[in-house]
């Protein structure tokens, strides 16, 4: 399969690199990373370890591929979609955090698959990515149900050795992940603690409230996600990733823009479309945006 990885930073470089031994992979990345991969190849270190040689470029348009894998941060999704509109791609798959697939689908003619990733990735230096945890890619039809295209992409990922599940219930899975991110990411970023520190703390209750509100909005969107399931998902992730510093906490610590708009902000916006209030998500989003507007982003 010809796979174009659009936005090969940490996650895109890891997943693209793992696909490269079996598929024809091109990383669309920034220099000096793109130049380094083009000339010296890519080292994958950590929980996965190999040296591979995908193509890499900074050119964003004019590509032809069977699949475009979108791995830019959520706030760069519109720009990625505009660039992909000038490519010839058979299908698009996002494995970003936050609700981004709708934007891709509204701007692109190619079919858009929904995805989530729990692999951990960190771009250590140009040409070198660390796999900080072997997770799983879950993908499927954006509106749910069986999907031959998702099956083909899932098979291509599995053939390359990626732990991949093709799921017929992506709407519920996306909203469950959103509930987890709305709770854990925002609360850990604002309180500057690792995920495990939420267990049994008042902040845990705050994370639960954000997740419960998200589940309620999911149900308004006709996605079956009981409050209890969202709460338990938060507890499970807090326990399983206790030592993690959430991606939003890492962004805050690095003085980088966060993905608040596609996470808590998206919950607020979609709730508003239903005339529903989500005070916890609204408060968390307002605090994070205040940080971003103020001294936050360097």
CA 277/CA 295 separation, integer angstroms: 29
Nearer to ligand KPL, 136 or 274 (CB): 136
Q: Could you say which of 16, 17, 120, 154 contacts ligand NDP (CB under 6 A)?
A: 120
- CB of 259 vs ligand KPL, minimal distance in Å: 8
Q: By CB under 6 A, how many residues form the interface with ligand KPL?
A: 11
With the C-alpha atoms ordered 178, 183, 187, 193, is the resulting torsion angle positive or negative? Answer: negative
Phi, psi of 207 (to 5 degrees): -65, -40
Tokens of 297: 């982003």
Taking CB under 6 A as the rule, does residue 124 contact ligand NDP?
no
Q: What are the residues whose beta carbons fall under 8 Å from the beta carbon of 44, sequence distance 6 or more?
A: 14, 17, 18, 50, 51, 52, 129, 130, 131
Per CB under 6 A, which of residues 97..126 are in contact with ligand KPL? Answer: 97
Which of ligand NDP, ligand KPL, none does 9 bind, CB closer than 5 to 8 A by kind? ligand NDP
Taking CB under 6 A as the rule, does residue 246 contact ligand NDP?
no
Is the bond preceding residue 32 a cis peptide, omega within 30 degrees? Answer: yes
Q: Could you say which of 74, 164, 195, 281 contacts ligand KPL (CB under 6 A)?
A: 195
Nearer to ligand KPL, 94 or 181 (CB): 181
Per CB under 6 A, which of residues 56..115 are in contact with ligand NDP? Answer: 60, 71-74, 76, 79, 83, 96-97
CA 288/CA 231 separation, integer angstroms: 22
Nearer to ligand KPL, 195 or 281 (CB): 195
Q: Could you say which of 10, 38, 94, 247 contacts ligand KPL (CB under 6 A)?
A: 247
177 tagged catalytic: yes
Per CB under 6 A, which of residues 132..151 are in contact with ligand NDP? Answer: none
Q: Could you say which of 26, 94, 96, 185 contacts ligand KPL (CB under 6 A)?
A: 185
Cα three-residue angle 35-76-83, rounded to 5 degrees:
65
Residue span binding ligand KPL (CB under 6 A) among the ranges 106-114, 142-150, 167-175, 179-187: 179-187
Any idea which residues carry the catalytic annotation?
177
Residues that bind ligand NDP (CB under 6 A): 7, 9-12, 28-30, 60, 71-74, 76, 79, 83, 96-97, 117, 120-121, 123, 247, 259
């Amino acid at each position: 399969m010809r796979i174009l990885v659009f936005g090969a930073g940490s996650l895109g470089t890891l997943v693209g690199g793992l696909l490269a031994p079996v598929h024809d992979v091109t990383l669309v990345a920034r220099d000096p990373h793109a130049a380094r991969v083009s000339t010296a190849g890519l080292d994958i270190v950590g929980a996965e370890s190999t040296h591979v040689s995908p193509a890499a470029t900074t050119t964003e348009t004019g590509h032809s591929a069977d699949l475009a894998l979108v791995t830019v941060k959520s706030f760069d999704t519109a720009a990625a979609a505009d660039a992909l509109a000038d490519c010839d791609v058979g299908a698009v798959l996002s494995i970003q955090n936050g609700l981004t697939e709708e934007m891709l689908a509204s701007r692109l003619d190619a079919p858009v698959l929904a995805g989530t990733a729990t692999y951990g990735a960190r771009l250590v230096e140009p040409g070198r990515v660390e796999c900080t945890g072997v997770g799983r890619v879950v993908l499927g039809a954006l509106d749910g149900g069986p999907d031959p295209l998702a099956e083909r992409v899932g098979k291509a990922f599995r053939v390359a050795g990626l732990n991949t599940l093709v799921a017929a219930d992506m709407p519920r899975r996306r909203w469950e992940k959103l509930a987890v991110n709305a709770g854990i990411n925002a609360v850990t970023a604002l309180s500057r603690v690792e995920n495990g520190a939420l267990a049994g703390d008042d902040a845990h209750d705050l994370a639960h409230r954000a997740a419960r509100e998200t589940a309620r909005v999911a149900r308004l969107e006709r996605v079956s996600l009981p409050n209890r399931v969202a709460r338990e998902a938060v507890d499970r992730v807090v326990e399983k990733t206790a030592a993690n510093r959430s991606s939003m906490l890492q962004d805050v610590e690095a003085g980088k823009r966060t993905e608040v708009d596609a996470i808590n902000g998206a919950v607020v916006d979609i709730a508003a479309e239903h005339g529903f209030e989500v005070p916890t998500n609204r408060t968390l989003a307002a605090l994070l945006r205040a940080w971003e507007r103020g001294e936050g982003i360097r």
